[in-house]
Structure formats: C-alpha cells, structure tokens
Amino acid sequence: TDISLPADAPKQLLPEKHADFLLQYCSSQDNYEYVMTEYLRMSGLYWTASALDLLGRLPDLRQRMDAAAFLRDCARPDGGYGPAPGHDSHLLWLCCSTCGTPWTPGPSRASSAACSGLTAASRATGGASFCALAALFLLGLGDRLDDLVDARAAGDFVYCCIGALSILGRLHELDVDRTALWLAERQLASGGLNGRPEKLPDVCYSWWVLASLAMLGRLSWISGERLLRFVCAAQDPEAGGIADRPGDLCDPFHTLFGLAGASLLRLGGDSLKAINPTFCLPVDCLDRHGLRLPLWTGD
C-alpha cells in the first residue's frame, strides 16, 4: 500500500511559507475549527512553538501570545496540567507543558508538584510512562527516574518505548538491529514511512520512525533523500504547512514532524536547527537550560 508523488509537487523545503502558516494558525481564534479543537490547545502550543523554533522564528510567536500565561491558566490544583484552561489534568498535557517551559522567560519548576504522582499514574495507564519520564527529565528531576524503571512504556508505540529506554539509559537491553530492521522496513517506494505493514505512508512517521532509528544509532538504514522528497511533496506551496501526505490539508502537527524529520536528516540546509530525537526539541533549546541527554551510538 503506497501512493504516487505528483509530478508537480514541491521538491524543496519551504521554510518561510511554513513559518507564515504557523503564525497565521495561531491568530485564527474566531472560527469554528478553533473552538472545536480546544482540547488540543496545549499540544498545539508544543507543535507550533517547536516548529517555529526549528525555523528560527520563535520570537514572532512570542509577539503574538503569552505562553507563560497560558501555561499558568492550564495548571490544575493536583499539580498537573490540562489541555486548556478548566480541563482535567493528564500526563500527556504535563509533558507538553514541560516541553513548553523552555520557550518561556525561564524554565518553570511549578510542575514539580505533580511529580509525586507520576510513578503511580504512569503504571496505571502504561502508555503514559514515556510522558512521565520526559517530564521528569525536562523538569531537572533526573534523580526520580529510577522510580519508573519497571513501568511499561507506550505498548504499541515504538518511539515512546525507545524514548523511555533512552532517558533511562537502557537502550543496550534492546535487540537493536532487529528493532531497527523493523523500523527501516517502514519505508515505501514513495520514500514515505508508514507506522505498520500494509498502511499508507504518513509524514508524522518521518519523525516517529526516524527519531527511533536515530536513538538506536541506525539513521542510515533508510534513504534520507527519498524520505525528504516525500515530505517536500506533502507541502502546500501556496499557503505553507505540511500535510500527512500530498494533496491533503496541512496542519501544525504534520508541519512540526515533517520539519523535525528533515532536521534529523540534516538535509534541510541552514533553514532548520538541529533537533534532539528523544524530546523533539531543538538542541540549543535544551542546551540553554542545561538539559543534556547523551545520544547512544548503538555500539
């Protein structure tokens, strides 16, 4: 199952178009779509801010919104965060909020109040373990990581499992080549990657699969040139943004992960910053706050 790339599809990344698309998306607050996607507001901040930071356009977002005020409004009495003001807390939104703190004037430690419940919550939901581990690391609470060693990371989602093991420093316990082979087999003739066999390619897997290979030290096991060609073909050359595949509507989610994949491949020229494969955050963003996670070479 695959697609054919249109002959007239874009062949190169359009960074300025994507920055304009993301900034315009943030300004569209009076339409039906914005109202009906309130539950995605926290994720939307992470997708948009990360993508703009990769493009070197984060200051433009700061001029349009007060991210720190939004994060404060989403904080809940239990120490966690909801996806928007007034919503219930969840580990996913806590993780997104801690990913958001590097874009505020200084790294917030307010979320540390929620960390006492992270271990129990992650074990109860299984798939939330990666969110809990990432939140602890980004909050500078790496000494709590051992509490989650036995938690099960994101069952069906290989990226979350590998990311969790990366944070814990236990990637060496994987059958690395077998795992990387399965990931490499996700590349189709179009150059795109799918999430599992017999599925169509999707730009978001340009991150989930590619970042997993990067964490395993096996990035060279797929064709980066063919993958970048697929990502470029999914761009809107007029309005900007990246879709799941060529011809579909663009959105911030796929725009971030398309750009992030291109950054990992180091084929986007000087238009993209380097990105960390575990957290999907620009390397210089983590460096500014002293957050370093050594990358495993796979040796």
Question: Could you give the CA distance from residue 160 to residue 199 in angstroms, rounded to a whole number?
Answer: 20
Residues composing the chain:
299
- Domain assignment present for 184: yes
Residue 35 falls within a domain, yes or no? no
Mention every residue, 6+ apart, whose C-beta is less than 8 A from residue 89: 76, 78, 79, 80, 81, 82, 114
| Domain span at 60 | 15-28+44-288
In angstroms, how far is CA 27 from the centroid of its own chain? 22
Q: Does residue 265 lie within any of the structural domains?
A: yes
> Which of 187, 140, 179 lies closest to 163 in space, CA to CA?
179
Q: What pLDDT score does 218 carry?
A: 96
**Distance (Å, whole) CA 283 – CA 285:** 5
Decide: 158 and 183 in contact? Cβ < 8 Å.
yes
Is 9 part of a structural domain of the chain?
A: no
Q: How far apart are CA 138 and CA 32, in angstroms?
A: 34
Structurally, the chain folds into a number of domains equal to 1
CA distances from 291 to 8, 144, 154 (A): 42, 15, 23
Q: Which two tokens stand for residue 255?
A: 């725009």
pTM of the model: 0.87
Give the pLDDT score at 104: 54
Residue 105 belongs to some domain of the structure: yes
User: In this predicted structure, what is the pLDDT of residue 2?
Assistant: 96
Could you say which residues of the chain have pLDDT below 50?
105-111, 117, 119-126, 149-156
Q: What pLDDT is attached to residue 20?
A: 95
**In-domain check, residue 8:** no
Q: Would residue 203 count as lying in a domain?
A: yes
We report the CATH number of the domain holding residue 211 as 1.50.10.20
Structural domain includes residue 299: no
